[in-house]
Homo-oligomer: A and B are copies of this chain.
């Protein structure tokens, strides 16, 4: 049993999903871990991590529009120092969560056929986002 830890950085382009499945798979391959659990942790409170459908970009657009309706920008938030998109971003980050846990075996993640791993940016403008990866296993 061992622990392997690393950090990946991604540049987002404002609100949207970034498919990071490939980068995470490469990181896991290089870790040489065979069987265990991989934890991804987003070090930010206005972006998050999500497992979602990997076949249709329309699904991503629907998710983003639905989140925008659920937590719209507006003048009804007390916290607005950092712009109208900031408080909705914190709300969406609460809903989508900051961490993912994915099992692996044979040095590969056990994702379902239609599952991809996404970094979801909730701020209007792009940001550099850090994801800590920790693999625990054999």
Contact = CB atoms under 8 A, between A and B. Distances in A.
Which interface class (under 10, 10 to 19, 20 to 34, 35 or more) fits A? 35 or more
Interface string A19-47: 00000000000000001110101011100
A11 interface: no
In the complex, the 9 A-B pairs of residues with the closest C-beta atoms, listed nearest first: A43-B112, A58-B79, A1-B1, A58-B78, A103-B134, A45-B53, A99-B101, A103-B132, A51-B98
Interface in A90-137: 90-91, 93-103, 105, 110-112, 114-115, 130, 132, 134, 136-137
Copies in the complex: 3
Interface of A: 1-3, 5, 35-37, 39, 41, 43-45, 50-53, 56, 58-59, 61-63, 66, 70-71, 77-79, 81, 87, 90-91, 93-103, 105, 110-112, 114-115, 130, 132, 134, 136-138
